[in-house]
Amino acid sequence: MEERMEATPDISVTEWRVNYSETDQMGVVYHACYLVWLDRARTEHLRRTGVSYAELERRGIRLLVGELTIRYRQSARYDDRITIRCWVRERASRRIGFGYVVEHADTGRILATASTSLMVIDANSRWARLPAEVAELLPISADPVRL
């Protein structure tokens, strides 16, 4: 069993069970489902820090995934409880980088690690700057594990 990461105010934890529809013929989670999970964890992380996608869009700000890296370590299976830890690992005026760890909730085994880089654009798809008051709500955390 691997050592579990502790939650901190800057690292959000989202938990759910693997649905049957997320598995492939081999009984494991289809690899592309992890991308949806990362999006879900990132959305919850932003909401918990006081920034929601809906509010950003009302303000004319969009976050566009520009880069994604994922490392699969072990398989998740139907009905497994999983947790995803998400944090801001870097922030610039036009970019926010997020880190993720997908874990088996019952054993603490790391199933995958990932990072995404989101670009800030306006409603007309032009580069924009992240408003300072939004950036202040997104503190940067050191990676708690090697991504």
The residue type at 77: R
Ramachandran angles phi, psi of 14, nearest 5°: -120, 135
Quick check: 85 and 101 in contact, CB under 8 A?
Answer: yes
Q: Which residues contact 38 (CB under 8 A, 6 or more apart)?
A: 68, 70, 84, 86, 98, 100, 114, 116
Question: What is the dihedral sign for C-alpha 96, 138, 49, 126?
Answer: negative
Lateral strand order in the sheet of 95-104: 12-17, 81-92, 95-104, 110-122, 61-72
- Residue 24 appears among annotated catalytic residues: yes
Residue 34's nearest CA partner among 24, 26, 25 is 24
Q: Which of 24, 39, 79, 122 is catalytic?
A: 24
Active-site positions read 24
